[in-house]
Structure 1
Amino acid sequence: MIGAFGDVVFEVTDKKIQTFYDLKRAGEARWHDHDIIGGKPKSEFNGPGLDEITFVVLLKAEFGINPSKQLEKLRNMRDQGKAAPFILGGKPISKHYFSIQKMSEEYKIVDNRGNIIVAEVELELKEYVRSGVK
């Protein structure tokens, strides 16, 4: 297993290949500037911001994947606001979960019956802090 996000497993086996590429992670610090009359503002560190992850998942029927079912699974996660850990190399990349903020689908090959043969889906995830986890 390369990794996983919820029920979506990224793996390469002799029967199934489901991977991602162009994984990017971004985060920022939260600062607030307080205006000072006659002087420069004073900056105050308020804590870390929420991390964001983007990546593209390749879904190919010839690799043992049903692109339509995987897309439906991801849409359901997005539409239900499901948050899940993002696992990479057997361990979570954060102590917090992530949720799908945006999902963009591209159908590369569709057969003569309307079945999706090859698709790419770009996902934008945002860190989700669960109650009791700092």
Structure 2
Amino acid sequence: MYAVLGKIEFEVASGITGMEQRGSADWAEHPLIQGKPLLEWIGEGLEELTFSMQLHPWLGDPEARLRTLREAKSKHEPLAFVLGSGEYVGAFVIADISNTPRRTSADGRLYSSAVQVSLREYTGPFTPKIAKPGLIDPAVQGTAAAKIATPGLISKLAPVLTATQQVVGYARQAGTMIQSAKNIYDAVKNFNPATLLAQAPQLAALTERALGPISGLTESAGFINEGQDLVQLGQGLYGDVSGARSSLSPLDLGNVVDRFENSSNYITQAYDKLDGASTRLSGLAAQVITRRA
């Protein structure tokens, strides 16, 4: 399995021909009276993923598989995106589906098609839904793909991630957000109060988002043998990031410098805790990669 989006499986053997990942950063341009304008970094843009695939009857009913993708898009719900390695990439929504029919019947039934699915990162509140193991989608039953034991492009139920896979995925996601927050604090720590106030909403949102994967890390670690140290890690991270978030409210020009420094100290503590656990987490990641956990 290459990846899972919610309950939709993507298999190289089932028509996936490529995946493109795009990331961006938002910059504000400030014109000067003389000389070239200055750029100021505002924040990170949303991640975007694009899948290219070929639908063919040999791999399952093209119309049924395309219909499943369209139904998922029409629900307007964020879906967990997980790589086959067990890495939890994050929550994404289906933003666009393009379909180019290659062959149809005389009455318009689809025989083969080239499809692109575009995903956009979802940054709102989100709790991943973990599905139970299921059967191959009826759309591929009886096809050549099913006979050689390759599940099709779409499965009704995605496989359950192990507790170790969940811990690794949540830790990576939380680490990315904590690192991003630390970078912002380090970049603006010597700026004037007005600039600090302008950065506060982004930092508040970033720390709020980090609490979700930290909670997931703590909960998942409870199911790992001898995982008490990881449970304590998650609890410590939650306390630090919560402290960083609460330090950012309320803010005004008179208190913003002190509150920013306090919030920055909390984030540094969280960063140091994760850095101290890097060897432990790397060991878990190695188990996931080698399929031992």
* TM-score, with length taken from structure 1: 0.77
- Confirm whether residue 47 of structure 1 aligns to residue 43 of structure 2: yes
Structure 1 pair 62/113, CA: closer, same or farther in 2 (3 Å)?
farther
Report the equivalent of 1:72: 67
Following TM superposition, by how much is the alpha carbon of 1:38 offset from its aligned partner in structure 2, in angstroms? Answer: 4.7
Give 5+ residue unaligned stretches, structure 2. 126-207, 211-293
Tell me whether 33-42 or 84-93 shows the greater mean CA deviation: 33-42
Following TM superposition, by how much is the alpha carbon of 1:112 offset from its aligned partner in structure 2, in angstroms? Answer: 4.9
2:92–2:120 contact (8 Å) kept in structure 1: yes
Aligned equivalents of 2:96 and 2:9: distance in 1? 19
Aligned equivalents of 2:64 and 2:29: distance in 1? 48
Report the equivalent of 1:62: 58
Aligned equivalents of 2:85 and 2:107: distance in 1? 38
Report the equivalent of 1:83: 78
Aligned equivalents of 2:19 and 2:123: distance in 1? 21
1:85–1:92 contact (8 Å) kept in structure 2: no
Indicate the SS of the match to 1:82. coil
Counterpart amino acid of residue 100 in structure 1? I
Following TM superposition, by how much is the alpha carbon of 1:24 offset from its aligned partner in structure 2, in angstroms? Answer: 0.9
Structure 1 pair 39/11, CA: closer, same or farther in 2 (3 Å)?
closer
Aligned equivalents of 1:18 and 1:37: distance in 2? 58
The structure with higher relative contact order (CA 8 Å, sep 6+) is 1
Aligned equivalents of 2:20 and 2:3: distance in 1? 15
The Cα offsets for residues 54-96 of structure 1, whole Å up to 9 and x where unpaired, read as 1212222112x121111111111222212212222233462x3
Report the equivalent of 2:2: 2
CA root-mean-square deviation: 2.4
Aligned equivalents of 1:49 and 1:19: distance in 2? 30
Work out which of the two has the higher radius of gyration on C-alpha atoms and give 1 or 2: 2
Indicate the SS of the match to 2:68. helix
* TM-score, with length taken from structure 2: 0.39
1:109–1:118 contact (8 Å) kept in structure 2: yes
Identity %: 28
Counterpart among 113, 120, 128 of residue 126 in structure 1? 120
Aligned equivalents of 2:86 and 2:29: distance in 1? 37
- Confirm whether residue 117 of structure 1 aligns to residue 111 of structure 2: yes
Give 5+ residue unaligned stretches, structure 1. none
- Confirm whether residue 34 of structure 1 aligns to residue 30 of structure 2: yes
Following TM superposition, by how much is the alpha carbon of 1:7 offset from its aligned partner in structure 2, in angstroms? Answer: 2.1
Counterpart amino acid of residue 81 in structure 1? H
The structure with the greater share of residues assigned to strand is 1
2:18–2:53 contact (8 Å) kept in structure 1: no
